[in-house]
Structures are given as structure tokens and as C-alpha cells.
């Protein structure tokens, strides 16, 4: 058979992918009988915010390698695809791309949602196409989207069950992380801290006030209700539990002195003005001492009426200047010093976080013993599965990072004031009172009676993502998919979402079905450009994986992404690397050309092998074992490198070169042995390489003179 001199990925890939898809083998139900032991990976659903980037390409490659490897090893492999509506991220992206403001849609919620949906679906279509182009052997018959009716039903079911368990509660004016720019609550994990400098003011509320306090946010001090000192601080002991009435910047404050061990006596004056409404720490001190709360900042980061005439309606930054000026004139400031302080910003919108009390927000209690789960709390459940080794995190160092996160975990705020997303199954009767709690009902359908309306807030997108390993398999129904594939085998994702997603999946799975969601977590690093910079649109250094695939072939892209990328470490990509593996695909192609040219149409299977040839096969068998071990232990980068090296520098450079004489040998024994050997080596090499470079290997395999051939994708892995 004559092959062209050069491998042509473009001509091959689409055709081969269709061949695979038509075979039905992406769906585990269609795999041959012997594929019994289940092996499942649920694809981390890409956000429908934009087209695929390098990071998602890497994720697809690693997972496809695992899946193809296990499929060839005879496992009943399921790789389930999906996409994520990504509520907050998609809204932000839509607003940015279309350059509109959400205010333009005030009162037009549905219209806005429709536009975002349209935007999301367009991206989704592109993403699905790109996933195919990467060669991903995903079971498309099970494709899911987080806003499908089934997914929404699972979210509602989860909400209701967790509410029944007493895990979900409505906070009554708990202090939340408010993002004034994005106009929504965000969770602790959605905050990023930016290093900065600020002025620490040491001052007294009034001349006759006995204690000077220190603060970086004087404008919030009109909301103070206490001063906290360390209980053992000799300077202040005599004042503890006394209350002082002062007029501060025109506002009458009643300040109680409380002793709290949280206070560091060596910082500032060792006295902390407690602002229960505008600091999470202060609100915790306040709740320990039953202090009242005074909200003086509103949701637009402006001072409220309660802040007094001097400050009312001013932006917080203006209010600070006004107040400091006022204090200076009054001679109340004792000291000003510049200190380091980090500025908390909302990860998505960039808005500066303004802690404030907000009613009617739902939280997940992480410290409540769960009757149904052996009276363990969420934090205990999260901890024990990793400590007991039921879930293994790779690389191992992330286990400590994870456990550290659990140790610092506060209740998870799940309400968001976004529009594009899943609303909780919660009903209320408007109007909503600002200053008190409301009565609400939790139910999938509208409660009987007049006037019930569904809550306008939506749920944190990670709430629905947390259910992903089992909601995609049919939960809450006890489907056969659920019993067969859950817990899934591997969760493969980038390390930067270990808290957002990995931890939340463990949480949801342990709480709702009492089992772990996966056995192994494989975390890959971030993909950076050749200068080590994060790839982003604003830097203009985005390398589109599909462009690369177009230029160098998908197999080359896959190989380039995997080699040199060890678990958990960031990797760099550059066009040169893709080019190198394009050459490799071509090399393999020519090895196949040579082999096919040298072989007769029919190979004499019964021919005896010479000792030398037997040795070559033995060496390859050893390599196969070695590579198999690497694959089992998730060292794909090593396995890929080894097979690459073998094919090029052992098979091509040595074995084929040396065989040239043998294949022309007059002695038919030597000749037949060489023919048989070379074909076997090529076949085994193709199998070993197939998970990494599926297209070119499948294409070559289809041309080999082997009897009873199947598709390479389901051939037996070299044992």
C-alpha cells in the first residue's frame, strides 16, 4: 500500500473522529462484553463564557489519555461531558463583551437573562465543537448542561434536603462580603487581596473618652457600638463592661468596653473599635458580647442616614476625608502612621468588598452536627475523607492545603444577587421588609394560597457544580448510571479551583449521598506562555489550542501539552514545542510507510523468531510494563516521553536501520523473522502511543496487514 510521504492531520482527524463516534464506543454501553469494570471521569464542565483556552485543552488531553488507557485495558469507561452556565462569570463576561451596564436592564430581568442565554449558547456550541477537535472520546449521548431541567431539579432537591437537615439556613442580618460593583454577595473564596498601604489613625471618639483606638477606616467608626480590649490588659481592665455615651461627629454613640482575647494588646493602642455591621471579625466579637449593630454604609458603598449629617450620602472614600478632617480640627487624632494593608476585591468584578449586614441570605452551616451522617459536621466530613485516604489528592502537597482550608472554613454564603442562574426553591410573600426576617417556604412548586413568589436571588454557581459528579448521573433518581459509576474514579482539574469546586463536590456528595464523589483527585497546573506569564486576553498572549491544532495537528498539540507537564506544576507552551511533535507524528508516519513497503501482503505468523528478534520484543515488553506502571501512577508526562523516545531513537534509529539488511536477506528465516518482528513492534508502539496521539495511530493501524482488526481505540493494551 502506498502512503503519502507526509502525514496530513487535517485530512485525517475529522474522518477518524467520525469513525470513532459512529462506532459508538465512546458510550460505555456499547463497548464489547469484556469491558466490565467501570471507570468513570466526569469532565469539569467548561464555563460557557468564551471559547476553549489552553487550560481546558490541557484538561481534555490529560483526561482523554486516562480514558483511552483504561478503555484499552478493558474497563467500562465513561467520560461524561457537560458545560457550566457559570452564573456570575458569564454575566460579567457578557457585560464586558457587549459593553452594556446591568443598570440598563433595571426591571427587565427576563430580557437580560434571554440575552445572556443566547450569548452562553453561542459559546457552548463553539466549545463542544472544540472538544471534539481535541480528539476527546467523550460520551456525547450523556451530555449535560448545568441549566438543563434535570440539573435544576437536582439543585432544588439538594437545597430542600439540606434545608430539611438544618444545614441551609437564612441568616438574619449576618455580615456578608458585599461587592458594591457587582451588586452581589460573594463567598470568602471569591475575594482576592491586593497588597497596599493605608493610614492607621489613632484617636479618641471624644476628648473625655478614656481609651484611644486605632483604625484604618475612620468613616465606619460612626457605626461603633463597643471597644474591645484584651481581658488581661492592665491598662484597660478597669473599664471593661462599662458603657460610655459619646457624641462622635454628630452621632450619639453608646460604647461598651468589652474584654475579648482576640485583641492583640501590642497593636496600636491595644484597643479596637468594634463596628459590628462593617467587619466580619467585629461582627463575631459583637455576637460574643451581645452587642447591637449599627449599619452606616449602604449597598452602593455610600454612608447611610445613620452615619449622621456630616457623612450621610457620601461615598466611603469621601466620608473618610471629611471625618479625618473633622477629627483633626477637634484635636482628637493622636497619631497617624502608614501601614501595609491588603485591599479585598471581588475576584470577578474587581469591586472593593464592603462587609455589611444583609438579610434574607442563605448560608450552609459547616459546624452543625448532621444526624443523618453520624452527627458529624461538614467540616469533619470534609476532613476525614482526606485524612483517612479515602480520597487521594495528587500532588500530595495539596492535601495539606485542602485541610488548611477546611480548618479556616466559615459558613458558606450561597445566595447571589445575580440573574443568570438557578433560583432556590424558596417562596415568600412580598413586600420584603428591610429590617426584619420574612416567612418563607421551601418547595419545588408554588405553595398553595395567594401571593407567593419565588425568591429573586440565584444560587452560587458552585452550589450546582458541587452536585456535578452525581447530578449528571441521574440523581436524585437511583439510576443504574449512578450505582455503576459513582463514586467516580478520578477528578481531574486545575489546582486553582480546589476550594471552589473540589471541596464543594466532596461536601455535597458526603452530605447528600453519604459517599465520596471520587477516589483520586489529579490536579494539573496552570498553562503559561513562553515567558511564564498567565495566559489572558488582556496580555494578548493567548495561544488558541485550536489554531495550534490546525497548524500542527491535534496529536502534536496533545503531545506537546503533556510532555514536560508534571502533576500540579505550571507549564509553558510555545509554538516551537508544537512543531517538534508535529515532526514526531510525521516520523511515525514514515516508520509506518517503511514497514508497509517492506512487508508482504500477508505476514507469515508462524515464522520462527531469531534470538535477536526475540530480544527486541522482550525489550519492548519491558518498556510496556514500565509505561503501564507510569500510566497507573499518573505519570503521563513520563510515559509519553518514554514511548516517544522508544519510537524515534530505538525503533526508527536502530531497529529499522538494522533491519534493512535482514529484510533483504536471502535467508528466508531471517527475513520472515524480521518482518514479523517489525510489524509487532509497530503494532505495540501504536497501542502504547494511542492515548497520547490517537488520530495518527488509529489511521496507521487501519492500514496494517493484521487479521481480525478492531478499532485501535478498543484494542488490548500491551500487557
Partner RNA sequence: GGGCGGUUAGCUCAGUUGGUUAGAGCGUCUCGUUUACACCGAGAAGGCCGAGGGUUCGAAUCCUUCACCGCCCACCA
Site for RNA, residues 518 to 547, rule: CB under 7 A: 528, 530, 532
- Closest approach of RNA to the CB of residue 275, in Å: 7
Which positions from 556 to 585 touch RNA by CB under 7 A, shown as an x/- string?
--------xxx--xxxx---xx-xx-xx-x
Contact by Cβ (8 Å): 167, 368: yes
Place of cell 449593630: 293
Segment interacting with RNA (CB under 7 A) among 58-66, 422-430, 469-477, 633-641: 633-641
Binding of RNA by 214 (CB under 7 A): yes
Contact by Cβ (8 Å): 371, 160: no
Range 324-383, binding RNA (CB under 7 A): 339, 341-342
**How far apart, in whole angstroms, are the C-alpha atoms of residue 664 and residue 668?**
9
Grid cell locating 387:
485524612
Residue 637's H or E segment, with its range, is helix 636-645
Binding of RNA by 184 (CB under 7 A): no
Contact by Cβ (8 Å): 196, 342: yes
Whether omega before 431 lies within 30 degrees of 0, making that bond cis, reads yes
Segment interacting with RNA (CB under 7 A) among 150-158, 211-219, 436-444, 697-705: 211-219
Q: Which is nearer to RNA, 370 or 567 (CB)?
A: 567
- Closest approach of RNA to the CB of residue 397, in Å: 4
Q: Which is nearer to RNA, 580 or 609 (CB)?
A: 580
Q: Which is nearer to RNA, 1 or 597 (CB)?
A: 597
Query: How many residues interact with RNA (rule CB under 7 A)?
Result: 76
Burial 326-339 (b: 16+ CB within 10 A, else e): bbeeeebbeeeeee
- Closest approach of RNA to the CB of residue 637, in Å: 6
Instruction: Give the other-Cβ count within 10 Å of 650's Cβ.
Output: 17
Q: Which is nearer to RNA, 460 or 641 (CB)?
A: 641
Helix 694-701 / helix 668-689 crossing angle, nearest 10 deg: 150
Q: From the list 428, 594, 634, 717, which residue makes contact with RNA (rule: CB under 7 A)?
A: 594
Binding of RNA by 638 (CB under 7 A): yes
Q: What is each CA distance from 350 to 191, 413, 527, 702, in whole angstroms? A: 9, 19, 23, 53
**How far apart, in whole angstroms, are the C-alpha atoms of residue 22 and residue 414?**
42
Q: From the list 137, 215, 293, 684, which residue makes contact with RNA (rule: CB under 7 A)?
A: 215
Contact by Cβ (8 Å): 284, 230: no
- Closest approach of RNA to the CB of residue 665, in Å: 15
Q: From the list 637, 646, 692, 701, which residue makes contact with RNA (rule: CB under 7 A)?
A: 637
**How far apart, in whole angstroms, are the C-alpha atoms of residue 320 and residue 201?**
11
- Closest approach of RNA to the CB of residue 587, in Å: 5
- Closest approach of RNA to the CB of residue 264, in Å: 4
Binding of RNA by 294 (CB under 7 A): no
Binding of RNA by 489 (CB under 7 A): no
User: Could you tell me which residues come within 8 angstroms of residue 501 by beta carbon, excluding any fewer than 6 positions away?
Assistant: 44, 462, 465, 466, 493
Segment interacting with RNA (CB under 7 A) among 1-9, 11-19, 139-147, 309-317: 1-9
**How far apart, in whole angstroms, are the C-alpha atoms of residue 250 and residue 234?**
32
- Closest approach of RNA to the CB of residue 27, in Å: 34
Segment interacting with RNA (CB under 7 A) among 37-45, 86-94, 213-221, 482-490: 213-221
Strands 76-80 vs 38-42: parallel, antiparallel or unpaired: parallel
Range 660-689, binding RNA (CB under 7 A): 660
User: Could you tell me which residues come within 8 angstroms of residue 151 by beta carbon, excluding any fewer than 6 positions away?
Assistant: 144, 145, 464, 467, 471, 472
- Closest approach of RNA to the CB of residue 344, in Å: 7
- Closest approach of RNA to the CB of residue 148, in Å: 30
Q: Which is nearer to RNA, 180 or 270 (CB)?
A: 270
**How far apart, in whole angstroms, are the C-alpha atoms of residue 675 and residue 110?**
69
Residue 38's H or E segment, with its range, is strand 38-42
**How far apart, in whole angstroms, are the C-alpha atoms of residue 83 and residue 128?**
9
Grid cell locating 233:
490588659
Q: Which is nearer to RNA, 362 or 637 (CB)?
A: 637
Range 246-285, binding RNA (CB under 7 A): 262-265, 267-268, 270, 272-273, 279-281
Q: Which is nearer to RNA, 315 or 587 (CB)?
A: 587
Range 394-413, binding RNA (CB under 7 A): 397, 400-401, 404-405, 408
Range 603-632, binding RNA (CB under 7 A): 626, 629-630
Cα Rg of the chain (Å, integer): 32
Binding of RNA by 499 (CB under 7 A): yes
- What secondary structure letter does DSSP report for 249? T
Contact by Cβ (8 Å): 17, 132: yes
Q: Which is nearer to RNA, 330 or 566 (CB)?
A: 566
Strand partners, 79: 41
Binding of RNA by 288 (CB under 7 A): no
Which positions from 79 to 98 touch RNA by CB under 7 A, shown as an x/- string?
--------------------
Binding of RNA by 237 (CB under 7 A): no
Q: Which is nearer to RNA, 110 or 666 (CB)?
A: 666
Binding of RNA by 657 (CB under 7 A): yes
In degrees rounded to 5, what are phi and psi of residue 519?
A: -95, -35
Contact by Cβ (8 Å): 28, 140: no
- Closest approach of RNA to the CB of residue 360, in Å: 24
Grid cell locating 511:
452530605
Which positions from 102 to 141 touch RNA by CB under 7 A, shown as an x/- string?
----------------------------------------
Instruction: Give the other-Cβ count within 10 Å of 302's Cβ.
Output: 18
- Closest approach of RNA to the CB of residue 213, in Å: 8
- Closest approach of RNA to the CB of residue 530, in Å: 6
Binding of RNA by 392 (CB under 7 A): no
**How far apart, in whole angstroms, are the C-alpha atoms of residue 71 and residue 695?**
16
Q: From the list 189, 457, 481, 492, which residue makes contact with RNA (rule: CB under 7 A)?
A: 189
Contact by Cβ (8 Å): 238, 255: no
Binding of RNA by 452 (CB under 7 A): no
Amino acid at each position: 500500500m502506498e502512503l503519502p510521504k507526509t502525514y496530513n492531520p487535517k485530512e485525517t482527524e475529522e474522518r477518524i473522529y467520525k469513525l470513532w463516534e459512529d462506532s459508538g464506543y465512546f458510550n460505555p454501553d456499547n463497548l464489547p462484553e469484556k469491558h466490565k469494570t467501570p471507570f468513570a471521569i466526569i469532565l469539569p464542565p467548561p464555563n460557557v463564557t468564551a471559547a476553549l483556552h489552553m487550560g481546558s485543552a490541557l484538561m481534555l488531553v490529560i483526561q482523554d489519555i486516562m480514558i483511552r488507557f483504561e478503555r484499552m485495558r478493558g474497563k467500562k469507561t465513561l467520560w461524561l461531558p457537560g458545560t457550566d452556565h457559570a452564573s456570575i462569570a458569564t454575566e460579567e463576561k457578557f457585560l464586558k463583551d457587549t459593553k452594556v451596564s446591568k443598570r440598563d436592564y433595571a426591571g427587565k430581568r427576563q430580557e437580560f437573562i434571554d440575552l445572556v442565554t443566547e450569548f452562553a449558547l453561542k459559546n457552548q456550541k463553539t466549545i463542544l465543537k472544540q472538544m471534539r477537535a481535541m480528539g476527546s472520546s467523550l460520551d456525547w449521548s450523556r451530555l449535560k448542561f448545568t441549566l438543563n431541567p434535570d440539573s435544576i431539579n437536582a439543585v432544588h432537591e439538594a437545597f430542600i434536603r439540606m434545608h430539611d437537615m438544618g444545614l441551609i439556613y437564612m441568616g438574619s442580618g449576618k455580615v456578608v462580603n458585599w461587592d458594591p460593583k457587582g451588586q452581589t454577595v460573594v463567598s470568602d473564596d471569591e475575594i482576592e487581596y491586593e497588597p497596599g498601604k493605608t493610614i492607621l489613625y489613632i484617636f479618641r471618639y471624644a476628648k473625655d473618652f478614656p481609651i484611644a483606638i486605632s483604625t484604618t477606616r475612620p468613616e465606619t467608626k460612626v457605626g461603633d457600638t463597643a471597644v474591645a480590649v484584651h481581658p488581661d490588659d492592665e491598662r484597660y481592665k478597669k473599664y471593661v463592661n462599662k458603657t460610655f455615651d459619646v457624641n462622635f461627629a454628630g452621632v450619639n454613640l453608646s460604647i461598651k468596653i468589652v474584654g475579648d482575647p482576640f485583641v492583640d494588646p501590642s497593636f496600636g493602642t491595644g484597643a479596637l473599635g468594634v463596628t459590628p455591621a462593617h467587619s466580619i471579625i467585629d461582627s463575631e466579637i459583637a455576637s460574643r458580647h451581645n452587642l447591637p449593630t449599627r449599619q452606616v454604609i449602604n449597598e452602593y458603598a455610600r454612608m447611610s442616614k445613620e452615619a449622621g449629617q456630616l457623612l450621610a450620602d457620601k461615598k466611603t472614600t469621601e466620608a473618610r476625608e471629611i471625618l479625618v478632617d473633622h477629627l483633626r480640627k477637634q484635636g482628637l487624632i493622636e497619631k497617624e502612621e502608614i501601614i501595609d494593608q491588603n485591599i479585598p476585591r471581588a475576584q470577578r468584578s474587581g469591586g472593593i468588598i464592603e462587609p455589611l449586614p444583609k438579610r434574607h441570605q442563605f448560608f450552609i452551616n459547616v459546624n452543625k452536627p448532621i444526624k443523618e451522617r453520624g452527627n458529624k459536621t461538614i467540616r469533619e466530613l470534609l476532613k476525614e475523607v482526606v485524612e483517612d485516604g479515602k480520597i487521594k489528592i495528587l500532588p500530595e502537597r495539596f492535601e495539606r492545603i485542602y485541610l488548611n482550608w477546611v480548618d479556616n472554613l466559615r459558613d458558606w454564603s450561597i445566595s447571589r444577587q445575580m440573574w443568570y442562574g438557578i433560583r432556590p426553591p424558596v417562596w415568600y410573600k412580598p413586600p420584603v421588609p428591610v429590617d426584619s426576617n420574612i416567612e418563607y417556604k421551601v418547595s419545588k412548586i408554588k405553595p398553595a394560597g395567594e401571593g407567593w413568589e419565588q425568591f429573586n436571588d440565584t444560587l452560587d454557581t458552585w452550589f450546582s457544580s458541587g452536585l456535578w459528579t452525581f447530578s449528571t448521573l441521574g440523581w436524585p433518581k437511583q439510576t443504574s448510571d449512578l450505582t455503576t459509576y459513582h463514586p467516580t474514579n478520578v477528578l481531574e482539574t486545575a489546582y486553582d479551583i480546589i476550594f471552589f469546586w473540589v471541596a464543594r463536590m466532596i461536601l455535597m456528595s458526603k452530605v447528600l449521598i453519604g459517599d465520596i464523589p471520587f477516589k483520586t483527585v489529579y490536579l494539573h497546573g496552570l498553562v503559561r506562555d513562553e515567558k511564564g506569564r498567565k495566559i489572558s486576553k488582556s496580555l494578548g498572549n493567548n495561544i488558541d489550542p485550536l489554531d495550534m491544532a490546525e497548524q500542527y495537528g491535534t496529536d502534536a498539540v496533545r503531545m506537546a501539552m503533556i510532555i514536560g507537564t508534571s502533576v500540579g506544576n505550571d507549564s509553558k507552551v510555545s509554538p516551537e514545542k508544537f512543531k517538534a511533535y508535529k515532526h514526531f507524528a510525521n516520523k511515525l508516519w514514515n516508520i509506518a510507510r517503511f514497514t508497509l513497503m517492506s512487508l508482504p501482503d500477508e505476514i507469515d505468523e508462524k515464522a520462527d523468531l531469531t534470538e535477536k528478534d526475540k530480544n527486541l520484543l522482550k525489550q519492548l515488553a519491558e518498556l510496556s510494563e514500565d509505561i503501564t506502571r507510569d500510566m497507573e501512577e499518573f505519570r503521563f508526562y513520563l510515559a509519553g516521553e518514554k514511548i516517544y523516545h522508544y519510537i524515534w531513537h530505538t525503533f526508527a534509529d536502530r531497529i529499522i536501520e538494522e533491519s534493512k539488511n535482514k529484510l533483504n536477506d536471502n535467508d528466508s528465516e531471517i527475513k520472515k523473522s524480521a518482518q514479523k518482528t517489525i510489524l509487532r513492534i509497530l503494532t505495540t508502539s501504536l497501542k502504547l502511543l494511542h492515548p497520547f496521539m490517537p488520530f495518527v495511530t488509529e489511521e496507521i493501524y487501519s492500514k496494517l496487514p493484521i487479521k481480525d482488526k478492531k478499532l485501535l481505540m478498543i484494542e488490548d493494551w500491551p500487557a
